[in-house]
Amino acid sequence: MRRLIAACLLAAVLGGSPGSARAKPGSAVAKPGRKEPARSPTEAPAPKVQLGVGASLGGRRPFPDDNPWNTDVSAAPVDPNSDALVASIGLDAPLHPDVGKTSGIPYVVVPGDQPKVPVAFEYADESDPGPYPIPPDPPIEGGPDSGGDRHILVLDRDHWVLYELFAAYPTGGGGWRAGSGAVFDLASNALRPVGWTSTDAAGLPVFPGLVRADEVFEQGAVRHAIRFTCKRTRRAYVPPARHWASPSKDPNLPPMGMRVRLKADYNVSGFPPRMQVILRAMKQYGLILADNGSNWFFTGAPDPRWNDDELNSLKRVRGRDFEVVRMEGLVAD
């Protein structure tokens, strides 16, 4: 796992045992013990949101339009330390699509009456308690036999609530155990409790930052910021992130939640049309640092419609082609 150091540091502060490489996982919109918001069936999203693995949202956007994930940052000022921050990730390092026909983080959309099952958490003190509406055979990041982050992302279409698990394993009888679990009301802008992580090191939801095939192939537009990772981060975070995962206090390292954007003058015309859709989103909405990982890796959801040659063309984009959007509300140790 990528965050062993952060896990040990946070465990020392909170008095817990790290137990895994991930910084101590967290809760979500509601604190443990609080029930998810009650919703009438009349509040269900439009029926164009489909059901199933990798289902189309029909253009519906998670979270309100004024949510940070959905904010246009194309005209926002550049951070005064942008050059040093970008250099720390890699000026010549290529942009890398962590998405393809079978690669990326999968998700499943379920109806509001999907039966819920119990989930036991390693970090129960910062996880939203179960049960979770996990279908009998949910898609797992890396596959059922993987040993990686093993995210499970479940979107309840009729209540517009997102359920996410990290390090999820079936226990038999329909139950699950996981490192952490987080629940997000997608009709709300509420953030997680201060200092809490999630199924990502930054304390952010995973699903809203994925590049999805239904957006690119059906809508022709990605209308939100995109999740990305880098190897070395700072012991700090900037909203909407709520958590750091690093021992370093170097101000030239990026904090969790840092937002970058593709420079406005970067010429995207030579890329395949579908890749231009992604690059335009990187100019308009940018990318948000969500986790420790490989430099300039951005994440999407697997789908058979992706073309690997087209995706690989994005590797022509380099770190120097990005700039950091001015950060507000930095929280540092």
One DSSP character per residue, 264-308 reads TT---TTS-HHHHHHHHHHHHT-EEEEEE-STTEEEB---TT--H
**Whether the predicted pLDDT of 127 surpasses 70:** yes
pTM of the predicted model as reported, rounded to 2 decimal places: 0.86
Q: What is the pLDDT of residues 60-109, one digit of tens each?
A: 999 999 999 999 999 999 999 999 999 999 999 999 999 999 999 999 99
- The pLDDT, as a whole number, for residue 132 is 98
C-alpha pair distances (Å), 22 with each of 100, 123, 148, 158, 218:
25, 11, 11, 32, 35
What phi and psi, each to the nearest 5 degrees, are found at residue 278?
A: -70, -45
Q: What is the distance between the alpha carbons of residues 166 and 180, in angstroms, rounded to a whole number?
A: 5
pLDDT at 123 over 70: yes
Taking 60 as the threshold, does the pLDDT of residue 303 lie above it? yes
Q: Using 50, 70 and 90 to split pLDDT, how confident is the model at 255?
A: very high
pLDDT of residue 43: 53
User: Residue 49 pLDDT > 90, yes or no?
Assistant: yes
Range of weakest confidence among 13-17, 105-109, 131-135, 192-196? 13-17
Beta-bridge partner residues of 230: 292
pLDDT at 16: 37
Range name among 6-10, 207-211, 250-254 with the lowest pLDDT average: 6-10
Range from 40-44, 163-167, 308-312 carrying the lowest mean pLDDT: 40-44
Structure-model confidence comparison of residues 128 and 26, the more confident one: 128
The C-alpha atoms of residue 213 and residue 202 are separated, in whole angstroms, by 25
How confident is the model over 43-54, as a mean pLDDT?
Answer: 77
Query: Which has more pLDDT, 32 or 193?
Result: 193
Largest CA distance in the chain: 55
Rounded mean pLDDT, 302-316: 98
Q: What is the pLDDT of residue 197?
A: 84
Q: Note whether 245 and 232 are within 8 A (CB).
A: no
Residues 176-209: tens digit of each pLDDT? 999 999 999 999 999 999 988 899 999 999 999 9
If we measure between CA atoms, which residue out of 123, 132, 201, 122 comes closest to residue 163? 132
Tally of CA atoms within 13 A in the half-sphere of 276 that contains its CB: 8
Q: How far is CA 300 from the centre of its chain?
A: 9
Query: Which residues are CB-neighbours of 257 under 8 A, at least 6 positions away?
Result: 202, 204, 237, 238, 239, 240, 241, 288, 289, 290
pLDDT at 5: 37
**26 pLDDT tier (thresholds 50, 70, 90):** very low
Distance CA(140)–CA(190), nearest Å, equals: 27
Provide the pLDDT for residue 14.
Answer: 36
**Residue-averaged pLDDT of the chain:** 89
Residue 72 to residue 66: CA distance in whole angstroms: 9
Tens of pLDDT, residue by residue over 216-253, are 999 999 999 999 999 999 999 999 999 999 999 999 99
Provide the pLDDT for residue 89: 98
Cα 147 to Cα 308: distance, rounded to the nearest angstrom: 24
